[in-house]
């Protein structure tokens, strides 16, 4: 357990990469060995992320070619946060370089590129061919709470909205509690849209505002349906309406469905708590979950209420941590044989 694994990060200047850098810098067994950004190469990490200066005083961004040159250890980790439809090509290049250098490289990718098993499905959603379809069989996409052991050599982490939906939908379907028609309404913070401002993410547009976008057409919906089918044997009819919220971090997801057999709220809480027994980062709470109770942490809170045959499941997560960087590190911990909670068990600050 004293082993420290040299860790590489790609896609270095985005919000998710910033969280990966923070988590790795404070991790007891992962050791930052290089972070690449083609646009920021040669500049200090602290210039892009001033809040990380105390942890990464002299660390600078390098190119992907420099990253390859640093593949000198027999065993290394790669956390990939490159843009969607770009990451696959980068990961393919680095895996080939690792093979040439006889380096065992374990990959967890947080882009969309390894979430679908079939490149045709990826192209249907993202309107571009997959960058490395030959690698898809090597990647598993699921929440670590829903798959036991090590399902394969590499992981494609589900998206942030997908994480919040899967946390509630998978147990409902796996326990055969509800009919497979689910209504989902999710509200996300502005960091979910990435670092580059747009007309709908610019602060004056989101402050004191709330609006839907891509209703019934969001790209995470087919991702969730496919993962549910793989894990539960049921492909739900999922009607998802995402919303932009006036806060920076967090997701609040409400899922509604019809129960197969009427159950009280307490009975449903007991069933869900039993499903997640032993899962440190998922907590079924007695009250209704709130974003501030999880923002800034890797924890997921789930609340449930029923009335007759209707059930509403509320899920809150931090989109950047449990929905991306934290979930990725959680998976990496397992793949490398570390405690799944290593570097992740800090509670939410509470007043973000």
For the four alpha carbons of 49, 325, 131 and 83, in that order, the dihedral sign comes to negative
Distance between CA atoms of residues 196 and 198, nearest Å:
7
Place of tokens 């939908």: 169
CA-based max dimension of the chain: 62
Q: What radius of gyration, in Å, describes the C-alpha atoms of the chain?
A: 20
220-232 vs 119-126: helix crossing angle, rounded to 10: 150
Output the CA–CA distances (angstroms, integers) from residue 325 to 9, 25, 111, 156, 274, in the order listed.
11, 13, 11, 12, 26
DSSP states of 66-107 as a string?
HHHHT--SSEEEEEE-PPTTTHHHHHHHHHHHHHHTT-EEEE
User: At residue 153, what are phi and psi to the nearest 5 degrees?
Assistant: -70, -25
Give how far the C-alpha of residue 311 lies from the chain's centroid of Cα atoms, to the nearest Å: 25
Q: Which of 103, 160, 178, 228 is catalytic?
A: 160
Active site residue 300: no
Q: How many CB atoms lie within 10 A of CB 130?
A: 21
- The residues annotated with a catalytic role in the active site are 160
């Amino acid at each position: 357990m004293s082993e420290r694994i040299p860790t590489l990060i790609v896609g270095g200047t985005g919000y998710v990469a910033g969280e990966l850098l923070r988590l790795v810098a404070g991790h007891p067994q992962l050791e930052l060995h290089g972070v690449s950004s083609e646009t920021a190469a040669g500049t200090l990490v602290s210039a892009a992320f001033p809040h990380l200066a105390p942890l990464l005083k002299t660390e600078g961004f390098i190119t992907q070619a420099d990253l390859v040159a640093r593949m000198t250890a027999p065993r290394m980790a790669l956390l990939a946060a490159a843009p969607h439809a770009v990451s696959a090509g980068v990961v393919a290049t680095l895996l080939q370089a690792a093979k040439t250098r006889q380096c065992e490289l374990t990959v967890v990718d947080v882009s969309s590129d390894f979430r679908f098993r079939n490149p045709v499905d990826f192209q249907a959603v993202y309107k571009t061919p997959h960058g490395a379809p030959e690698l898809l069989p090597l990647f598993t996409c699921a929440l670590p709470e829903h798959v036991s052991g090590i399902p394969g050599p590499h992981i494609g982490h589900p998206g942030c909205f997908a994480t919040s939906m899967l946390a509630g939908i998978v147990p409902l379907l796996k326990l055969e509690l509800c009919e497979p028609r689910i209504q989902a309404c999710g509200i996300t913070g502005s960091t979910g849209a990435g670092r580059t401002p747009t007309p709908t993410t610019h602060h004056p547009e989101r402050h004191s505002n709330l609006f839907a976008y891509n209703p019934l057409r969001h790209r995470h919906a087919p991702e969730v349906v496919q993962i549910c089918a793989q894990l539960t044997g049921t492909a739900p009819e999922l009607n998802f309406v995402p919303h932009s919220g006036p806060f920076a971090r967090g997701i609040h997801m409400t899922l509604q469905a019809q129960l197969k057999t009427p159950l009280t709220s307490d009975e449903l809480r007991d069933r869900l708590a039993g499903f997640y027994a032993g899962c440190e980062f998922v907590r079924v709470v007695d009250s209704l979950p709130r974003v501030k109770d999880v923002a800034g942490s890797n924890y997921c809170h789930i609340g449930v209420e029923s009335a007759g045959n209707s059930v509403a499941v509320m899920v809150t997560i931090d989109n950047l941590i449990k929905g991306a960087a934290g979930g990725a590190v959680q998976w990496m911990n397992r793949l490398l044989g570390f405690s799944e909670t290593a570097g992740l068990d800090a509670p939410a600050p509470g007043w973000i």
